[in-house]
Structure formats: C-alpha cells, structure tokens
Amino acid sequence: MKTKYGLLANYGGDIDLDEFREMVAVNAYYRAEKRGFKPAHEMEDWIEAEKDIKIQRRYGFR
C-alpha cells in the first residue's frame, strides 16, 4: 500500500538509519515535486517528511 507521497504505509520490518534517511529523502522529494520545486522550502519538506515516516512506522532504530 502506498501513502500520498509514494512510500509504503504499513511496512512492518525494522530499518536502520540509512534506510530511514532514504525513505525521508524520497518523501521530501515528492513533497517538493507536489509544490512545483519552489525554493526555500527544503528544510520544511525534510522535517515534515521525517514526521510522516515516523508516524507511518512508529519508528524504532535497530
């Protein structure tokens, strides 16, 4: 199942920090794409993407 930003919604396995960062980067990219890549929102995109991934996964580092 995909989320509104293209990432898996119900991924059940644990992921490491590198995988988490990649998921956040992809999520942030889709956020930027959705708003037409207008500049000056990069940090906001990243922070919101982190929140989204953590909420989706109820994230725990291994």
**Statement: the pTM of the whole predicted model exceeds 0.85:** no
Q: Dihedral of the CA atoms 39, 25, 58, 62 (nearest 10)?
A: -140
The sign of the torsion formed by the CA atoms of 38, 42, 48, 52 equals positive
CB 21 within 8 A of CB 46: no
Residues 14-53 pLDDT 10s: 778 899 999 999 999 999 999 999 999 999 999 999 999 9
Residues 46-60 pLDDT 10s: 999 999 998 887 745
The b-or-e profile of 13-48 (16+ CB within 10 A means b, else e) is: eebeeeebeebbeebbebbbeeeeeeeeeeeebbeb
pLDDT of 12? 52
